[in-house]
Amino acid sequence: MPRKVLEIEQKIEYLSILDENANVDKELEPDIPAEQLKSMYKYMLLGRRCDERMLKMQRQGRLGTFPQSAGHEAISIGSAINLHQDDWHVPAYRELAGMLYRGWPIENIILYWNGFEEGTAPPEHVNDLPICVPLATQLPHAVGIGMAMNYKKEKNVVMTYFGDGASSEGDCHEALNFASVFKAPVVFVCLNNQYAISVPLSRQMSCETVAQRAIAYNMPGIRVDGNDVLAVYVATKEAVERARAGYGPSLIEGLTYRLTPHTTADDPKKYRSEAETDEWAKKEPLIRFAKYLQNKGVMTAEDLEKMEAEVDNMVKTAVAKAEEMAKSEELLNPFTIIDHVYADMPQFLQEQRDELAELVKREAARKEKKNAKSETGARS
């Protein structure tokens, strides 16, 4: 039999609306109300300032190691702004701005990166999953939620996030495949910051884009300027509308750059040049969006200064609250590592709990005896 050519005509678009100098393509510019534009900028700014404050805290020994989000705010907000409250938001670990927009208290984020799992409790009024550090494991969860919504005939959408490094994980490909086969209403958002920790994109894959993988899974795919919040907004709005209408998943690749180390335990100077970092710093999302808002007459320089002050106060208040909460008996209760694992505690775990209770009791008695001895010495 002769060879046959299978006609696959799908192409991948690249979308950019607002360039690094804040020049906007008027034909592509979305019609976003002024108040919504202000809200988008506010949460981008809040995400950035939280990130910066947490870095200072980590360097001071007041916070554990954490992955920074600086430079990813446009992808996070430009996408999350398109979700309804009862849609699902399934983050990885650089979606700080979007999580804050969805209602996560700043103090919860601080507590989480200080080792308190209580910080992962989502706000009651939204359908969100917690931060997910293991690569790509949240993607099958997102697809499962989407498949369940189809089964229940709900018209909601799931939006989930992952990095370029995570795009090489088996969980990512399994999730894309299942979503496509079962038409799950999932919007996959890849934050392509071009390094899987220290491994550059060129060593991760030989294809030109992450977005073109959508062709193999028979879903729409698009690459956008991930530092352009308008382009992210337009691409995700189209994908959300498509998913809500019952047409299944989409894959969006946001091309961006980490302005910081991978985590606070990383040294990017070992694998990235200073010239490369400086070049990308010129393209960062916050400055260009602020210029756009001023050029459009939505905000003045004075408005931007007032918002800076407002955000600074929000961060300071949250830091103080988080550090006070970290001292509470509720969060320092050692039994929480055991009490919430099983609905019915198995015998082996009950035995460990009893042993821990005995240790706590002995430690309390030791401290009481030591304090009594100190008081006696002070009186004599």
Q: What is the pLDDT of residues 126-177, one digit of tens each?
A: 999 999 999 999 999 999 999 999 999 999 999 999 999 999 999 999 999 9
Q: For residue range 164-216, what is the model confidence (pLDDT) as tens digits?
A: 999 999 999 999 999 999 999 999 999 999 999 999 999 999 999 999 999 99
**pLDDT value, residue 367:** 87
Q: What is the pTM of this model?
A: 0.92
Higher pLDDT, 339 or 166: 166
Residue in 72, 94, 258, 272 annotated catalytic: 258
Residue in 125, 271, 342, 366 annotated catalytic: 271
Would you give the DSSP letter of residue 27? T
Chain Cα centroid distance, residue 216? 26
Alpha-carbon distance 340 to 358, whole Å?
19
First to last CA, the chain: 105
pLDDT value at 344 more than 80: yes
Q: What does each C-alpha distance from 336 to 104, 109, 228, 345 come to in angstroms?
A: 22, 19, 43, 13
Would you call 173 a catalytic residue per the annotation? no
**pLDDT value, residue 80:** 98
3-state secondary structure of 319: helix
What is the Cα Rg of the chain in Å? 24
- The pLDDT confidence band at residue 340, using thresholds 50, 70 and 90, is confident
Would you call 258 a catalytic residue per the annotation? yes
Would you call 271 a catalytic residue per the annotation? yes
Q: Are 58 and 66 in contact (CB under 8 A)?
A: yes
Q: What does each C-alpha distance from 285 to 21, 210, 257 come to in angstroms?
A: 10, 21, 10
Q: For residue range 253-294, what is the model confidence (pLDDT) as tens digits?
A: 999 999 999 999 999 999 999 999 999 999 999 999 999 999
Chain Cα centroid distance, residue 253? 15
> Which pair of structure tokens corresponds to residue 31?
């019609």
Residue in 49, 262, 272, 288 annotated catalytic: 262
> Which pair of structure tokens corresponds to residue 43?
């949460």
Q: Are 138 and 91 in contact (CB under 8 A)?
A: yes
Q: What would the mean pLDDT of 339-367 be, rounded to a whole number? A: 93
